[in-house]
Amino acid sequence: MSEEIKITFLGGLGEIGRNCAVFEQSGRMLVLDCGVMFPNPDMPGVDLVLPDFSYILQHKDQIDGIVLTHGHEDHVGALPYLLRDVDVKLYGSRFALEIARGRIEEAGISLHDRMVAVKDGQRLAIGPFDVEFIPVTHSVPCAFAIAIHTVSGVIFHSGDFKIDLSPVDNRKIDLGRIGQIAKEEGIALLLADSTNADKPGFTDSESSVGSTLGAIFASHPDKRVIVACFASHIHRIQQLANAAAKNGRKVALVGRSMVRTVSIAKEIGILNFPNDLLIDIESAGEYEPGEVCVISTGSQGEPMSVLTLLASGDNKNITLTEHDFVVFSSHVIPGNEWSVAEVMNNLARKNIEVIDSEVAHVHASGHASRGELATLLNIASPRHFIPVHGERKHLLAHAGLAAEAGVEKDNILICEDGDQILLSANGINIVNKIPAPYVYVDGTVGEMKGVLRDRRFLADNGVVAVTVTISGEKIIGDPCISSRGWLGVEEEELFLPKAISVLREVVTYALITKNADVVEIKRIVKREMSKLIYEYTKRRPVVIPMVVLE
Ligand SMILES: [Zn+2]
Ligand SMILES: [Zn+2]
Protein backbone atom coordinates (compact mmCIF):
# COMPACT_ATOMS: atom_id res chain seq x y z
CA MET A 1 0.00 0.00 0.00
CA SER A 2 1.23 3.46 -0.71
CA GLU A 3 0.04 6.82 0.42
CA GLU A 4 0.53 10.30 -0.91
CA ILE A 5 2.18 12.98 1.16
CA LYS A 6 1.89 16.60 0.17
CA ILE A 7 4.41 19.17 1.40
CA THR A 8 3.85 22.94 1.09
CA PHE A 9 6.79 25.26 1.66
CA LEU A 10 5.67 28.57 3.16
CA GLY A 11 9.16 29.97 3.74
CA GLY A 12 12.88 29.34 4.08
CA LEU A 13 13.54 28.29 0.47
CA GLY A 14 15.35 31.14 -1.24
CA GLU A 15 16.05 33.08 1.93
CA ILE A 16 17.51 32.46 5.37
CA GLY A 17 14.57 32.82 7.70
CA ARG A 18 10.79 32.37 8.13
CA ASN A 19 11.12 28.60 7.97
CA CYS A 20 7.73 26.97 7.77
CA ALA A 21 6.38 23.92 5.95
CA VAL A 22 3.09 22.03 5.99
CA PHE A 23 2.93 18.23 5.65
CA GLU A 24 -0.39 16.66 4.57
CA GLN A 25 -1.39 13.05 4.89
CA SER A 26 -4.89 11.47 4.88
CA GLY A 27 -6.50 14.90 4.84
CA ARG A 28 -4.68 16.00 7.99
CA MET A 29 -1.87 18.53 8.37
CA LEU A 30 1.27 18.97 10.43
CA VAL A 31 3.17 22.27 10.48
CA LEU A 32 6.96 22.07 10.78
CA ASP A 33 8.54 25.22 12.29
CA CYS A 34 7.10 28.70 12.27
CA GLY A 35 9.89 31.25 12.03
CA VAL A 36 10.53 34.88 11.25
CA MET A 37 13.00 36.52 8.94
CA PHE A 38 14.82 39.67 9.99
CA PRO A 39 14.34 42.56 7.57
CA ASN A 40 16.87 43.43 4.89
CA PRO A 41 18.30 46.94 4.70
CA ASP A 42 15.85 47.63 1.84
CA MET A 43 12.85 47.18 4.15
CA PRO A 44 12.93 50.44 6.12
CA GLY A 45 10.91 50.47 9.32
CA VAL A 46 10.04 46.76 9.12
CA ASP A 47 10.48 44.87 12.41
CA LEU A 48 10.01 41.31 11.16
CA VAL A 49 9.05 39.34 8.08
CA LEU A 50 6.60 36.43 8.45
CA PRO A 51 5.45 33.57 6.24
CA ASP A 52 2.02 34.09 4.70
CA PHE A 53 -0.22 31.87 6.84
CA SER A 54 -3.27 32.03 4.51
CA TYR A 55 -2.88 28.38 3.48
CA ILE A 56 -2.76 27.22 7.10
CA LEU A 57 -5.69 29.42 8.09
CA GLN A 58 -7.82 28.12 5.19
CA HIS A 59 -7.29 24.58 6.51
CA LYS A 60 -7.02 25.24 10.21
CA ASP A 61 -9.50 22.52 11.17
CA GLN A 62 -7.21 19.95 9.56
CA ILE A 63 -4.10 20.84 11.57
CA ASP A 64 -3.02 18.33 14.19
CA GLY A 65 0.03 20.12 15.55
CA ILE A 66 3.10 22.27 15.08
CA VAL A 67 6.46 20.53 15.38
CA LEU A 68 9.50 22.65 16.28
CA THR A 69 12.99 21.53 15.28
CA HIS A 70 14.74 23.99 17.64
CA GLY A 71 14.46 27.32 19.43
CA HIS A 72 15.98 29.79 16.96
CA GLU A 73 13.86 32.75 15.95
CA ASP A 74 13.88 31.72 12.28
CA HIS A 75 12.03 28.57 13.43
CA VAL A 76 9.82 29.69 16.35
CA GLY A 77 9.62 33.49 16.11
CA ALA A 78 6.39 33.67 14.10
CA LEU A 79 4.40 31.45 16.48
CA PRO A 80 2.66 34.40 18.22
CA TYR A 81 1.26 35.47 14.84
CA LEU A 82 -0.06 32.00 13.99
CA LEU A 83 -1.27 30.82 17.39
CA ARG A 84 -3.66 33.73 17.83
CA ASP A 85 -5.72 32.20 14.99
CA VAL A 86 -4.92 28.51 15.28
CA ASP A 87 -5.48 26.54 18.46
CA VAL A 88 -3.20 23.50 18.18
CA LYS A 89 -0.50 21.82 20.20
CA LEU A 90 3.21 22.62 19.92
CA TYR A 91 5.74 19.80 19.99
CA GLY A 92 9.43 20.46 20.61
CA SER A 93 12.27 20.25 23.11
CA ARG A 94 11.59 21.87 26.46
CA PHE A 95 14.18 24.53 25.65
CA ALA A 96 12.65 25.41 22.27
CA LEU A 97 9.19 25.59 23.85
CA GLU A 98 10.35 27.80 26.72
CA ILE A 99 12.14 30.14 24.28
CA ALA A 100 8.94 30.36 22.24
CA ARG A 101 6.75 30.80 25.33
CA GLY A 102 8.04 34.30 26.18
CA ARG A 103 6.95 35.93 22.95
CA ILE A 104 3.70 33.97 22.71
CA GLU A 105 2.62 34.99 26.21
CA GLU A 106 3.83 38.57 25.64
CA ALA A 107 1.39 38.65 22.72
CA GLY A 108 -1.39 37.82 25.19
CA ILE A 109 -1.96 34.28 23.89
CA SER A 110 -2.77 31.69 26.52
CA LEU A 111 -0.80 28.47 26.12
CA HIS A 112 -2.76 26.47 28.75
CA ASP A 113 -1.86 22.85 27.82
CA ARG A 114 -0.72 23.48 24.26
CA MET A 115 2.98 22.71 24.80
CA VAL A 116 4.20 19.13 24.59
CA ALA A 117 7.85 18.74 25.58
CA VAL A 118 9.51 15.97 23.60
CA LYS A 119 12.54 13.95 24.68
CA ASP A 120 15.50 12.92 22.53
CA GLY A 121 14.55 9.99 20.31
CA GLN A 122 10.87 10.10 21.26
CA ARG A 123 8.34 8.90 18.70
CA LEU A 124 4.82 10.26 18.82
CA ALA A 125 1.56 9.91 16.93
CA ILE A 126 0.33 13.39 16.05
CA GLY A 127 -2.96 12.80 14.23
CA PRO A 128 -2.10 10.31 11.47
CA PHE A 129 1.56 11.40 11.53
CA ASP A 130 4.12 9.06 13.08
CA VAL A 131 6.80 11.55 14.12
CA GLU A 132 10.24 10.79 15.57
CA PHE A 133 12.47 13.45 17.14
CA ILE A 134 16.13 12.63 16.49
CA PRO A 135 18.88 14.58 18.30
CA VAL A 136 21.18 16.70 16.14
CA THR A 137 23.94 19.16 17.03
CA HIS A 138 23.49 22.86 16.25
CA SER A 139 24.24 26.29 17.72
CA VAL A 140 21.33 26.03 20.12
CA PRO A 141 20.84 23.15 22.57
CA CYS A 142 18.36 20.31 22.11
CA ALA A 143 17.91 20.62 18.32
CA PHE A 144 16.02 17.87 16.50
CA ALA A 145 15.85 16.37 13.06
CA ILE A 146 12.32 15.13 12.35
CA ALA A 147 11.50 11.77 10.81
CA ILE A 148 7.94 11.22 9.65
CA HIS A 149 7.37 7.49 9.19
CA THR A 150 4.88 6.72 6.44
CA VAL A 151 3.89 3.61 4.55
CA SER A 152 5.75 5.05 1.55
CA GLY A 153 8.97 5.32 3.52
CA VAL A 154 10.37 7.95 5.83
CA ILE A 155 10.44 11.68 5.23
CA PHE A 156 13.51 12.95 7.01
CA HIS A 157 13.93 16.67 7.76
CA SER A 158 17.38 17.49 9.12
CA GLY A 159 16.35 20.71 10.89
CA ASP A 160 19.35 23.02 11.31
CA PHE A 161 22.35 20.86 12.07
CA LYS A 162 26.07 20.27 11.97
CA ILE A 163 27.93 17.08 12.79
CA ASP A 164 29.72 18.15 15.96
CA LEU A 165 31.69 15.16 17.18
CA SER A 166 32.65 16.81 20.47
CA PRO A 167 29.60 18.87 21.45
CA VAL A 168 29.86 21.01 24.57
CA ASP A 169 26.94 19.21 26.26
CA ASN A 170 28.03 15.80 24.95
CA ARG A 171 24.58 15.35 23.33
CA LYS A 172 25.59 13.88 20.00
CA ILE A 173 23.81 13.79 16.67
CA ASP A 174 22.23 10.32 16.44
CA LEU A 175 23.80 9.23 13.15
CA GLY A 176 23.30 5.60 14.18
CA ARG A 177 19.53 6.03 14.29
CA ILE A 178 19.49 7.84 10.94
CA GLY A 179 21.44 4.92 9.43
CA GLN A 180 19.10 2.42 11.01
CA ILE A 181 16.01 4.16 9.59
CA ALA A 182 17.66 4.30 6.17
CA LYS A 183 18.44 0.59 6.30
CA GLU A 184 15.24 -0.74 7.79
CA GLU A 185 12.55 1.51 6.31
CA GLY A 186 14.35 3.52 3.64
CA ILE A 187 14.37 7.30 3.52
CA ALA A 188 11.95 8.24 0.74
CA LEU A 189 12.71 11.95 0.97
CA LEU A 190 15.50 13.89 2.65
CA LEU A 191 15.06 17.61 3.30
CA ALA A 192 18.29 19.10 4.61
CA ASP A 193 19.81 22.36 5.87
CA SER A 194 21.64 24.15 3.04
CA THR A 195 23.00 27.20 4.92
CA ASN A 196 26.65 26.21 4.46
CA ALA A 197 26.24 24.06 1.34
CA ASP A 198 28.79 26.22 -0.49
CA LYS A 199 31.43 25.85 2.25
CA PRO A 200 33.98 23.08 1.73
CA GLY A 201 35.15 20.74 4.46
CA PHE A 202 33.72 20.33 7.94
CA THR A 203 32.41 22.97 10.33
CA ASP A 204 34.54 23.30 13.47
CA SER A 205 33.24 21.79 16.66
CA GLU A 206 31.72 24.31 19.04
CA SER A 207 34.10 23.08 21.74
CA SER A 208 37.08 24.30 19.69
CA VAL A 209 36.00 27.90 20.40
CA GLY A 210 36.24 27.46 24.17
CA SER A 211 40.03 27.30 24.28
CA THR A 212 40.38 30.56 22.31
CA LEU A 213 37.98 32.31 24.66
CA GLY A 214 39.91 30.96 27.66
CA ALA A 215 43.19 32.14 26.15
CA ILE A 216 41.77 35.65 25.67
CA PHE A 217 40.79 35.81 29.35
CA ALA A 218 44.24 34.58 30.42
CA SER A 219 46.21 36.86 28.12
CA HIS A 220 44.34 40.03 29.13
CA PRO A 221 44.51 39.87 32.94
CA ASP A 222 44.12 43.65 33.30
CA LYS A 223 41.15 44.02 31.02
CA ARG A 224 37.44 43.56 31.42
CA VAL A 225 36.38 41.23 28.61
CA ILE A 226 33.05 41.89 26.94
CA VAL A 227 31.79 39.11 24.71
CA ALA A 228 28.88 39.63 22.34
CA CYS A 229 27.04 36.52 21.19
CA PHE A 230 23.51 35.31 20.49
CA ALA A 231 21.46 34.88 23.64
CA SER A 232 20.30 31.45 22.48
CA HIS A 233 23.89 30.22 22.12
CA ILE A 234 23.88 28.40 25.44
CA HIS A 235 26.95 26.30 24.62
CA ARG A 236 28.97 29.44 23.90
CA ILE A 237 27.75 30.93 27.18
CA GLN A 238 28.64 27.70 28.98
CA GLN A 239 32.18 27.86 27.63
CA LEU A 240 32.47 31.53 28.56
CA ALA A 241 31.28 30.76 32.08
CA ASN A 242 33.80 27.91 32.36
CA ALA A 243 36.64 30.11 31.10
CA ALA A 244 35.61 32.96 33.40
CA ALA A 245 35.52 30.68 36.44
CA LYS A 246 38.92 29.23 35.57
CA ASN A 247 40.42 32.71 35.22
CA GLY A 248 38.93 34.13 38.40
CA ARG A 249 36.39 36.34 36.67
CA LYS A 250 32.77 37.00 37.60
CA VAL A 251 30.16 37.00 34.86
CA ALA A 252 27.68 39.82 34.26
CA LEU A 253 24.87 39.32 31.75
CA VAL A 254 23.48 42.23 29.81
CA GLY A 255 20.56 42.37 27.39
CA ARG A 256 17.01 41.31 28.22
CA SER A 257 17.06 38.21 26.02
CA MET A 258 20.48 37.17 27.40
CA VAL A 259 19.22 37.28 30.98
CA ARG A 260 16.04 35.44 30.03
CA THR A 261 17.57 32.57 28.02
CA VAL A 262 20.31 32.00 30.60
CA SER A 263 17.68 31.75 33.28
CA ILE A 264 15.61 29.26 31.19
CA ALA A 265 18.68 27.17 30.38
CA LYS A 266 19.81 27.06 34.03
CA GLU A 267 16.29 26.20 35.17
CA ILE A 268 16.01 23.21 32.83
CA GLY A 269 19.55 22.08 33.56
CA ILE A 270 21.28 22.59 30.22
CA LEU A 271 23.55 25.37 31.47
CA ASN A 272 25.57 24.74 34.56
CA PHE A 273 27.68 27.10 36.62
CA PRO A 274 27.65 28.11 40.27
CA ASN A 275 25.21 30.93 41.08
CA ASP A 276 27.94 32.98 42.78
CA LEU A 277 29.73 33.26 39.42
CA LEU A 278 27.05 35.75 38.32
CA ILE A 279 27.04 39.38 39.35
CA ASP A 280 24.61 42.16 38.50
CA ILE A 281 25.82 44.50 35.81
CA GLU A 282 25.19 47.37 38.27
CA SER A 283 27.92 46.03 40.57
CA ALA A 284 30.46 45.30 37.80
CA GLY A 285 32.16 48.64 38.54
CA GLU A 286 33.07 47.43 42.03
CA TYR A 287 35.45 44.85 40.54
CA GLU A 288 38.82 45.31 38.91
CA PRO A 289 38.52 45.04 35.09
CA GLY A 290 40.44 41.75 35.09
CA GLU A 291 37.90 40.23 37.47
CA VAL A 292 34.89 40.60 35.19
CA CYS A 293 33.53 39.10 31.97
CA VAL A 294 30.42 40.70 30.49
CA ILE A 295 28.30 38.55 28.18
CA SER A 296 26.15 40.72 25.99
CA THR A 297 23.66 40.60 23.14
CA GLY A 298 24.16 42.87 20.15
CA SER A 299 26.70 40.92 18.11
CA GLN A 300 24.91 42.08 14.93
CA GLY A 301 25.18 45.81 15.70
CA GLU A 302 21.40 46.06 16.29
CA PRO A 303 20.62 49.77 16.87
CA MET A 304 19.14 49.49 20.37
CA SER A 305 21.22 46.57 21.61
CA VAL A 306 23.34 46.86 24.70
CA LEU A 307 26.65 46.56 22.88
CA THR A 308 25.70 49.32 20.42
CA LEU A 309 24.71 51.56 23.32
CA LEU A 310 27.90 50.68 25.21
CA ALA A 311 29.99 51.51 22.15
CA SER A 312 28.35 54.91 21.81
CA GLY A 313 28.61 55.59 25.57
CA ASP A 314 24.83 55.42 26.15
CA ASN A 315 24.56 52.83 28.91
CA LYS A 316 23.88 53.90 32.47
CA ASN A 317 25.55 50.91 34.12
CA ILE A 318 28.95 50.74 32.47
CA THR A 319 31.21 52.99 30.53
CA LEU A 320 33.72 51.36 28.25
CA THR A 321 37.33 52.55 28.37
CA GLU A 322 40.71 51.35 27.19
CA HIS A 323 40.53 48.86 30.09
CA ASP A 324 37.94 46.89 28.12
CA PHE A 325 38.45 44.25 25.46
CA VAL A 326 35.51 43.42 23.19
CA VAL A 327 35.00 40.07 21.44
CA PHE A 328 32.41 39.58 18.72
CA SER A 329 31.80 35.86 19.24
CA SER A 330 29.63 35.53 16.17
CA HIS A 331 29.68 35.91 12.44
CA VAL A 332 28.04 38.86 10.77
CA ILE A 333 24.72 38.00 9.16
CA PRO A 334 24.68 39.40 5.61
CA GLY A 335 23.05 42.82 5.66
CA ASN A 336 24.42 43.72 9.10
CA GLU A 337 28.00 44.45 8.00
CA TRP A 338 27.63 48.22 8.12
CA SER A 339 26.05 48.27 11.59
CA VAL A 340 28.69 45.95 13.02
CA ALA A 341 31.51 48.00 11.48
CA GLU A 342 29.97 51.14 12.99
CA VAL A 343 29.95 49.60 16.48
CA MET A 344 33.54 48.44 16.03
CA ASN A 345 34.64 51.91 14.91
CA ASN A 346 32.89 53.53 17.86
CA LEU A 347 34.83 51.18 20.13
CA ALA A 348 38.08 51.89 18.29
CA ARG A 349 37.55 55.64 18.79
CA LYS A 350 37.66 54.95 22.52
CA ASN A 351 40.92 52.98 22.09
CA ILE A 352 39.12 49.76 22.95
CA GLU A 353 40.66 46.63 21.49
CA VAL A 354 38.14 44.59 19.46
CA ILE A 355 38.39 41.16 17.86
CA ASP A 356 35.97 39.11 15.80
CA SER A 357 35.87 35.78 14.02
CA GLU A 358 37.84 37.23 11.09
CA VAL A 359 40.98 37.48 13.21
CA ALA A 360 40.54 34.82 15.92
CA HIS A 361 38.74 31.52 16.35
CA VAL A 362 36.01 33.00 18.53
CA HIS A 363 33.07 31.58 16.62
CA ALA A 364 32.05 28.31 14.96
CA SER A 365 29.04 28.03 12.69
CA GLY A 366 26.06 25.93 13.74
CA HIS A 367 25.48 24.64 10.22
CA ALA A 368 26.96 21.69 8.37
CA SER A 369 29.54 22.33 5.66
CA ARG A 370 29.81 20.19 2.52
CA GLY A 371 31.71 17.39 4.24
CA GLU A 372 28.97 16.92 6.82
CA LEU A 373 26.18 17.34 4.25
CA ALA A 374 27.80 14.62 2.14
CA THR A 375 28.07 12.45 5.25
CA LEU A 376 24.34 12.84 5.96
CA LEU A 377 23.49 12.13 2.32
CA ASN A 378 25.60 8.97 2.49
CA ILE A 379 24.12 7.72 5.74
CA ALA A 380 20.54 8.58 4.80
CA SER A 381 20.93 7.46 1.16
CA PRO A 382 17.56 9.00 0.31
CA ARG A 383 15.51 8.12 -2.79
CA HIS A 384 14.53 11.77 -3.20
CA PHE A 385 16.13 14.98 -2.06
CA ILE A 386 15.02 18.61 -1.58
CA PRO A 387 17.52 21.16 -0.22
CA VAL A 388 15.91 23.52 2.30
CA HIS A 389 16.94 26.40 4.60
CA GLY A 390 19.00 28.59 2.31
CA GLU A 391 19.24 31.20 -0.35
CA ARG A 392 18.91 30.00 -3.92
CA LYS A 393 22.70 29.68 -4.32
CA HIS A 394 22.86 27.45 -1.22
CA LEU A 395 20.00 25.26 -2.46
CA LEU A 396 21.72 24.83 -5.83
CA ALA A 397 25.05 23.93 -4.21
CA HIS A 398 23.31 21.39 -1.99
CA ALA A 399 21.43 19.85 -4.92
CA GLY A 400 24.75 19.42 -6.76
CA LEU A 401 26.22 17.71 -3.74
CA ALA A 402 23.26 15.32 -3.53
CA ALA A 403 23.81 14.33 -7.15
CA GLU A 404 27.50 13.69 -6.42
CA ALA A 405 26.45 11.60 -3.43
CA GLY A 406 24.43 9.35 -5.72
CA VAL A 407 20.86 10.64 -5.55
CA GLU A 408 19.39 10.31 -9.04
CA LYS A 409 19.18 13.70 -10.77
CA ASP A 410 15.47 13.27 -11.54
CA ASN A 411 14.85 12.67 -7.86
CA ILE A 412 16.30 16.00 -6.74
CA LEU A 413 13.95 18.97 -6.65
CA ILE A 414 14.99 22.56 -6.14
CA CYS A 415 11.91 24.22 -4.72
CA GLU A 416 10.98 27.72 -3.71
CA ASP A 417 8.55 29.30 -1.29
CA GLY A 418 4.98 28.46 -2.23
CA ASP A 419 5.80 25.19 -4.00
CA GLN A 420 3.60 22.20 -3.20
CA ILE A 421 5.15 18.84 -3.81
CA LEU A 422 3.62 15.41 -3.86
CA LEU A 423 5.50 12.33 -2.78
CA SER A 424 3.87 9.10 -3.93
CA ALA A 425 4.73 5.68 -5.31
CA ASN A 426 5.33 7.47 -8.62
CA GLY A 427 8.10 9.63 -7.17
CA ILE A 428 8.19 13.27 -6.35
CA ASN A 429 6.70 16.19 -8.27
CA ILE A 430 5.93 19.86 -7.86
CA VAL A 431 2.14 19.82 -8.28
CA ASN A 432 1.12 23.36 -7.47
CA LYS A 433 2.34 26.76 -6.43
CA ILE A 434 0.54 28.94 -3.92
CA PRO A 435 1.31 32.60 -3.13
CA ALA A 436 4.02 32.91 -0.47
CA PRO A 437 4.64 36.64 -0.21
CA TYR A 438 6.61 38.30 2.56
CA VAL A 439 4.23 39.44 5.28
CA TYR A 440 5.71 42.40 7.10
CA VAL A 441 5.38 43.38 10.72
CA ASP A 442 5.71 47.05 11.50
CA GLY A 443 3.81 47.39 14.75
CA THR A 444 0.93 45.49 13.15
CA VAL A 445 0.99 42.75 10.54
CA GLY A 446 0.27 43.57 6.95
CA GLU A 447 1.00 43.52 3.27
CA MET A 448 3.41 46.45 2.85
CA LYS A 449 4.85 46.12 -0.61
CA GLY A 450 3.59 49.54 -1.80
CA VAL A 451 4.39 51.10 1.56
CA LEU A 452 8.02 49.95 1.38
CA ARG A 453 8.39 51.32 -2.12
CA ASP A 454 7.16 54.70 -0.83
CA ARG A 455 9.45 54.54 2.19
CA ARG A 456 12.50 53.85 0.06
CA PHE A 457 11.54 56.73 -2.23
CA LEU A 458 10.98 59.08 0.70
CA ALA A 459 14.32 58.04 2.21
CA ASP A 460 16.06 58.79 -1.08
CA ASN A 461 14.23 62.01 -1.99
CA GLY A 462 12.41 63.63 0.94
CA VAL A 463 8.92 65.09 0.99
CA VAL A 464 7.41 68.55 0.48
CA ALA A 465 3.82 69.34 1.53
CA VAL A 466 2.07 72.40 0.10
CA THR A 467 -1.24 73.64 1.55
CA VAL A 468 -3.29 76.22 -0.30
CA THR A 469 -6.40 77.80 1.25
CA ILE A 470 -9.02 79.11 -1.18
CA SER A 471 -12.33 80.86 -0.84
CA GLY A 472 -14.43 81.23 -3.97
CA GLU A 473 -12.10 82.58 -6.64
CA LYS A 474 -9.52 83.85 -4.17
CA ILE A 475 -6.48 82.38 -2.53
CA ILE A 476 -6.41 83.17 1.19
CA GLY A 477 -3.03 84.01 2.72
CA ASP A 478 0.21 82.48 1.47
CA PRO A 479 0.56 78.83 0.47
CA CYS A 480 2.04 76.95 3.42
CA ILE A 481 5.08 74.81 2.55
CA SER A 482 6.69 72.31 4.87
CA SER A 483 9.30 69.75 3.97
CA ARG A 484 11.37 66.92 5.40
CA GLY A 485 14.58 65.45 4.04
CA TRP A 486 14.78 67.73 1.05
CA LEU A 487 16.62 71.02 1.76
CA GLY A 488 18.67 72.34 4.64
CA VAL A 489 16.97 75.03 6.76
CA GLU A 490 18.98 77.95 5.34
CA GLU A 491 18.50 76.91 1.72
CA GLU A 492 14.82 76.42 2.36
CA GLU A 493 14.48 79.95 3.73
CA LEU A 494 16.01 81.32 0.52
CA PHE A 495 13.81 79.22 -1.72
CA LEU A 496 10.42 79.49 0.00
CA PRO A 497 9.53 83.16 -0.71
CA LYS A 498 10.08 82.56 -4.41
CA ALA A 499 8.00 79.37 -4.40
CA ILE A 500 5.20 81.02 -2.43
CA SER A 501 4.91 83.90 -4.85
CA VAL A 502 4.90 81.64 -7.94
CA LEU A 503 2.26 79.36 -6.39
CA ARG A 504 0.05 82.33 -5.44
CA GLU A 505 0.24 83.55 -9.00
CA VAL A 506 -0.58 80.26 -10.77
CA VAL A 507 -3.37 79.33 -8.36
CA THR A 508 -4.98 82.77 -8.64
CA TYR A 509 -4.76 82.62 -12.42
CA ALA A 510 -6.32 79.16 -12.51
CA LEU A 511 -9.15 80.21 -10.18
CA ILE A 512 -10.05 83.32 -12.12
CA THR A 513 -9.56 82.21 -15.70
CA LYS A 514 -10.39 78.50 -15.53
CA ASN A 515 -12.72 78.39 -12.54
CA ALA A 516 -10.52 75.45 -11.43
CA ASP A 517 -11.89 72.95 -8.89
CA VAL A 518 -10.00 71.39 -5.99
CA VAL A 519 -8.67 68.47 -8.05
CA GLU A 520 -7.37 70.83 -10.72
CA ILE A 521 -5.78 73.15 -8.14
CA LYS A 522 -4.01 70.19 -6.53
CA ARG A 523 -2.71 69.09 -9.90
CA ILE A 524 -1.42 72.58 -10.70
CA VAL A 525 0.23 73.01 -7.29
CA LYS A 526 1.97 69.64 -7.61
CA ARG A 527 3.16 70.35 -11.17
CA GLU A 528 4.42 73.88 -10.48
CA MET A 529 6.04 73.03 -7.18
CA SER A 530 7.83 69.99 -8.66
CA LYS A 531 9.07 72.14 -11.53
CA LEU A 532 10.36 74.89 -9.23
CA ILE A 533 12.07 72.42 -6.96
CA TYR A 534 13.80 70.69 -9.84
CA GLU A 535 14.96 73.98 -11.38
CA TYR A 536 16.31 75.15 -8.06
CA THR A 537 17.81 71.95 -6.62
CA LYS A 538 17.80 69.26 -9.36
CA ARG A 539 16.03 67.07 -6.80
CA ARG A 540 12.70 65.28 -7.03
CA PRO A 541 11.10 64.98 -3.59
CA VAL A 542 7.55 63.70 -3.16
CA VAL A 543 5.23 66.74 -3.43
CA ILE A 544 1.95 66.46 -1.54
CA PRO A 545 -0.55 69.17 -2.49
CA MET A 546 -3.42 69.97 -0.14
CA VAL A 547 -6.28 72.38 -0.74
CA VAL A 548 -8.39 73.78 2.10
CA LEU A 549 -11.74 75.39 1.21
CA GLU A 550 -12.85 78.24 3.40
ZN1 LIG B 1 17.54 28.23 10.95
ZN1 LIG C 1 19.06 27.32 13.85
Q: Check which CATH number belongs to the domain holding 475 and give it.
A: 3.10.20.580
Cα of 159 vs centre of ligand 1, distance in Å, is 8
For residue 304, the tally of other CB atoms under 10 A from its CB is 8
Cα dihedral 393, 396, 400, 402 sign: positive
Q: What is the pLDDT of residue 536?
A: 84
Q: Is residue 508 part of a domain?
A: yes
User: What is the spatial distance between Cα 267 and Cα 101, in angstroms, rounded to a whole number?
Assistant: 14
For residue 37, the tally of other CB atoms under 10 A from its CB is 24
Cα dihedral 126, 191, 121, 87 sign: negative
Q: Which ligand is the nearest neighbour of the Cα of 232?
A: 2
Q: Which ligand is the nearest neighbour of the Cα of 19?
A: 1
Residues 371, 329 share a domain: no
Q: Which amino acid is at 110?
A: S
**Residue 343: is it exposed, middle or buried by C-beta count within 10 angstroms (0-12/13-18/19+)?**
buried
Residues 116, 49 share a domain: yes
Q: Are strands 542-549 and 463-471 parallel, antiparallel or unpaired?
A: parallel
Residues 54, 181 share a domain: yes
Residues 94, 32 share a domain: yes
User: What is the spatial distance between Cα 134 and Cα 147, in angstroms, rounded to a whole number?
Assistant: 7
Q: Is residue 167 part of a domain?
A: yes
Show the low-confidence residues of the chain (pLDDT under 70). Answer: 1-2, 446-447, 449
Q: Is residue 480 part of a domain?
A: yes
C-alpha distances in angstroms, 362 versus 26, 216, 269, 281, 355?
A: 48, 10, 25, 23, 9
Q: Which ligand is the nearest neighbour of the Cα of 195?
A: 1
Cα of 263 vs centre of ligand 1, distance in Å, is 23
Residues 214, 193 share a domain: no
List the end-to-end C-alpha distance of the chain, in Å, as a whole number. Answer: 79
Residues 156, 52 share a domain: yes
Q: Give per-residue pLDDT as tens, 503-549.
A: 998 889 888 888 878 888 899 999 988 998 888 888 888 899 999 98
Domain boundary among 417, 442, 467: 442
Cα of 293 vs centre of ligand 1, distance in Å, is 29
Specify whether the CB–CB gap between 312 and 322 falls below 8 A: no
Which among 239, 253, 243, 248 has a CA at the least distance from the CA of 207? 239
Q: Give per-residue pLDDT as tens, 42-90.
A: 888 888 999 999 999 999 999 999 999 999 999 999 999 999 999 999 9
Residues 533, 422 share a domain: no
Cα of 233 vs centre of ligand 2, distance in Å, is 10
For residue 13, the tally of other CB atoms under 10 A from its CB is 27
Domain boundary among 380, 409, 442: 442
Q: What is the pLDDT of residue 1?
A: 46
Q: Is residue 259 part of a domain?
A: yes
User: What is the spatial distance between Cα 353 and Cα 349, in angstroms, rounded to a whole number?
Assistant: 10
User: What is the spatial distance between Cα 456 and Cα 154, in angstroms, rounded to a whole number?
Assistant: 46
Q: Is residue 166 part of a domain?
A: yes
Helix axes 392-404, 370-380, angle to 10 degrees: 50
Residues 329, 379 share a domain: no
Cα of 491 vs centre of ligand 1, distance in Å, is 50
C-alpha 362 chain-centroid distance: 22
Query: What is the value of pTM for the model shown?
Result: 0.89
Domain boundary among 410, 427, 442: 442
Residues 457, 325 share a domain: no
Cα of 188 vs centre of ligand 1, distance in Å, is 23
Residue 367: CA count within 13 A, CB half-sphere: 20
Residues 281, 233 share a domain: yes
Cα of 68 vs centre of ligand 1, distance in Å, is 11
Residues 336, 299 share a domain: yes
Q: Is residue 360 part of a domain?
A: no
Cα of 50 vs centre of ligand 2, distance in Å, is 16
Q: Is residue 416 part of a domain?
A: yes
The total domain count for the chain is 3
Q: What is the pLDDT of residue 449?
A: 66
Cα of 11 vs centre of ligand 1, distance in Å, is 11
* CATH number of the domain within which 30 lies: 3.60.15.10
Q: Domain span at residue 489?
A: 449-549
Residues 146, 238 share a domain: no
* CATH number of the domain within which 346 lies: 3.40.50.10710
